[in-house]
Structure 1
Amino acid sequence: MKTIFAHRGVSSLAPENTLSAIKLCVDYQVRWFECDIDILQDDTIVLSHDSTLDRCTNRSGTLFELNRQDLERIDAGSWFSDEYRGEPIPTLEQLIALMNQYQLNANIEIKSGDVSAEVCRRLLAGLDCALNQLDDGREYIISSFNPMLLAEFKRLRPQARVACLFENHTLNDDWYVIMEWTGAEYIHPQNEGLTQQQVQRFKSKGYQVNVWTVNAKDRANQLFNWGVDGIFTDFPQNFLSKYQED
């Protein structure tokens, strides 16, 4: 089975990390999506790639300065198009409800956190609690670039499947030690510069390999021929007919 992950939802057609972008997975029969989570000052967990509001909302400033009640005054959609004017920043609870409603599966990326270790612990605890609300049959992978967070989350929730994210320049000879240390089942390497020999090494150690971010069809085809298990893409709608079922 080859897996197509809608990167931050169907982010080529709707604003990234919003419920609208994730709901589009249903329209295109994409069963898996990827999203990013971070935490607010009052421990509300929200979907956001950045720790600041500047790039994808009508506000400036730091995400962590916000509380839940601030979210209703933030527009996370009009930067993308008029159609999504007023689109809110979703909470993790809303995401879980949407997954249950539409029977979707998620790769949830924990942002590394730049406030404090204690805030990171609260983020992990809140994620662990939220996942208990998932219906039976819903699947998830928890990923991060921060192996310490992954190792701690695996300790907190041993049944969770976790994935180590690597940029090309951080994929050094110690990758296997990091994978073992975190207890990860998946390795998520960067697309750029990834070689067939690297993929073979990952597979030979028994890991599943999902590559980010792959938008070209020929590159996706090459990676799948190398034995890659999945790709993250901004254009999941382009891969439907070939990779919906395998």
Structure 2
Amino acid sequence: MTLIYGHRGAKGEAPENTLTSFQQCLAHGVRRCELDLHLSKDGELMVIHDPTLKRTTGRRGKVVEQEAEDLVRLDARHGGPGWKQPCPIPRLAELFERCDFEHWQLEVKSASRVRAARSVQAIKALAEQHGLLDRITVTSGSREVLRALKRLTPELSCGLVAEYAWLDPIKVAQQYGCDYLVLKWTLCTPERIAKAQQQGLHVSVWTVNEPALMRRLADFGVDSLITDFPGLAVSTLRSRG
């Protein structure tokens, strides 16, 4: 059975990476999500995709230059589907408290060695505090982040995010002790999926928004799809039987 992850919550239906978006995902009965993390100036894990604020809040500046207390006052409705109420940037801690997901893919964007270390240690501390260690997988396309996970937080499940096949993504995932291989859909062939699964990897594919593509990848045997439209994915995979 192919599992469904809501991409940044339900990015196609509500402002991405906001509490509203994750609640929308849960409303479809989809209890797995993918989200993006950056550290604030004071070291809190903030749920936002870009390192800068412009695209989702219309404000200038970088996430890392702002205190968490100021970031949570910003409205992250810009550039997404229309929404009547303001949708603040959330702390990861708030989502852990308010959203009952059975599994979380937490993507840490590329980071310096120091920031990678701070990020993975902050995730571990928060996951332990909320009793969620066994329900999260930290994913990244950054070698620095994967190295930090392996070195500092080996108890955290981790995954490689692969967008290009210039290196064999399966080999790279194994090199860093990954459990998940998070592939861009253009990299998916039945052969690669089967080979990854034979090596014990969970193959999760992004971003899958077309019903025909959802069905094709499910036929290929991927373990999970990451989609902007979790409701559409539920009805598409259900009608497939």
Structure 1 15/136 Cα, relative in aligned 2: closer, same or farther at 3 Å? closer
Cα offset for 1:136?
6.1
User: Which residue matches 1:183?
Assistant: 177
Aligned partner letter, 2:36: D
Aligned partner letter, 2:47: L
Structure 1 59/156 Cα, relative in aligned 2: closer, same or farther at 3 Å? same
Q: Distance in 2 between matches of 1:43 and 1:137?
A: 20
Structure 1 167/75 Cα, relative in aligned 2: closer, same or farther at 3 Å? same
Aligned partner letter, 1:57: T
SS in 1 for 2:193: helix
Q: Percentage identity across aligned positions?
A: 29
Q: In the TM superposition, what whole-angstrom CA distance separates every residue of 1:50-108 from its partner, at most 9, and x where no partner exists? A: 00111111311211110122124411125436634431110111121123xx3442111
Aligned partner letter, 1:94: E
Structure 1 136/128 Cα, relative in aligned 2: closer, same or farther at 3 Å? closer
SS in 2 for 1:38: strand
SS in 2 for 1:106: strand
Contact 1:14-1:84 at 8 Å conserved across structures: no
Q: Distance in 2 between matches of 1:136 and 1:200?
A: 29
Aligned partner letter, 1:26: L
Contact 1:191-1:211 at 8 Å conserved across structures: yes
Contact 1:44-1:91 at 8 Å conserved across structures: yes
Moved over 6 A (4+): none
User: Which residue matches 1:16?
Assistant: 16
Contact 1:28-1:237 at 8 Å conserved across structures: yes
Give the count of matched residue pairs.
239
Structure 1 202/71 Cα, relative in aligned 2: closer, same or farther at 3 Å? same
Structure 1 117/155 Cα, relative in aligned 2: closer, same or farther at 3 Å? closer
User: Which residue matches 2:40?
Assistant: 40
Q: In the TM superposition, what whole-angstrom CA distance separates every residue of 1:155-191 from its partner, at most 9, and x where no partner exists? A: 3333322111101344x23x34322221101111111
SS in 2 for 1:198: helix
Structure 1 82/166 Cα, relative in aligned 2: closer, same or farther at 3 Å? closer
Among candidates 158, 161, 165, match of residue 165 of structure 1 = 161
Contact 2:117-2:152 at 8 Å conserved across structures: no
Cα offset for 1:131?
0.6
Cα offset for 1:243?
4.6
Structure 2 unaligned spans of 5+: none
Structure 1 unaligned spans of 5+: none
Contact 2:71-2:89 at 8 Å conserved across structures: yes
Instruction: Note the aligned Cα RMSD (angstroms).
Output: 2.2
TM-score normalised according to structure 1 size? 0.88
User: Which residue matches 1:146?
Assistant: 142
Q: Distance in 1 between matches of 2:153 and 2:62?
A: 29
Alignment of 1:103-142 (within 5 A): 103-113=101-111, 116-135=112-131, 139-142=135-138
